Structure 1
């Protein structure tokens, strides 16, 4: 749920730095879709039909998403910190992020941190289930 908010907030900020925020968008969209698929597999009962070590798969999935989301959080925070950076647009110096874009990016940074923390907690719980 929080990852979807990150996705919406970054998209609504008009992505002023595509190099940094492109990764944030990729991680939030991919994690959102795969989390829905992972949830669907568990809710549909396919877990009992597929012979796999689901505790390990759960741990590996949450570890991977945690690492990617932590990087996305750092990139979003870096983008937000560039608020006072001025760039030359049409012969006058303007801030890189407008005040509205800055506020949206602050919210996206906060929700990226919350999402990272949630995946970190899920990672810890998956580790407890996986290790005897």
Structure 2
């Protein structure tokens, strides 16, 4: 009888193991919610471009890097190399901080839109609703990256 292998927090998975182990199970929700932030922010037009530009940079950067990270882990490119547990923790800490630094200005801009008198037209109100959805998804994505960061730190410590 073959014994079932159990993935522990102290090892790095590869292949389909990334879909079943903690913290790697968070890759797909991070990609989905990060992609939603990217799409929602790209579909609006807000007069202060600077916060929106930062949000776009963060969402595109984190989406691409998380996708690359997922591919590296799925293909087993991290095997037989030291430092991957540390790099995983550092990346997710950086991504959590980036998303938090993008979520706060996005929420501030959205609140300023609500307080202004520019919501009179249907188009402005529609952009406002899309920005609200972007703020919610941005904070959810920040939370996902933060949870992934904590679980990666635990795995790094046990590595």
Same fold (TM over 0.5): yes
> 1:91 maps to what in 2?
none
Secondary structure at the residue paired with 2:52?
helix
In the aligned structure 1, how far is the partner of 2:46 from the partner of 2:99? Answer: 18
CA positional deviation for 1:34: 0.4
TM-score, reference length from structure 2 = 0.73
1:42 aligns with 2:68: no
In the aligned structure 2, how far is the partner of 1:37 from the partner of 1:76? Answer: 26
> 2:36 maps to what in 1?
5
In the aligned structure 2, how far is the partner of 1:33 from the partner of 1:105? Answer: 22
For this pair of structures, how many residues does the alignment match? 124
> 2:124 maps to what in 1?
98
Secondary structure at the residue paired with 1:124?
helix
> 2:101 maps to what in 1?
71
**Matching of residues 89-128 of structure 1 within 5 Å:** 94-95=118-119, 98-128=124-154
> 1:89 maps to what in 2?
none
| Runs of at least 5 residues in structure 2 that lack an aligned partner in the other structure | 1-31
CA positional deviation for 1:98: 1.4
**Matching of residues 10-49 of structure 1 within 5 Å:** 10-49=41-80
In the aligned structure 2, how far is the partner of 1:23 from the partner of 1:48? Answer: 34
CA positional deviation for 1:95: 4.8
TM-score, reference length from structure 1 = 0.88
How well do the aligned residues superpose, as a CA RMSD in angstroms? 1.6
CA positional deviation for 1:100: 0.7
In the aligned structure 1, how far is the partner of 2:59 from the partner of 2:46? Answer: 14
CA positional deviation for 1:16: 3.2
In the aligned structure 2, how far is the partner of 1:95 from the partner of 1:108? Answer: 17
CA positional deviation for 1:14: 2.3
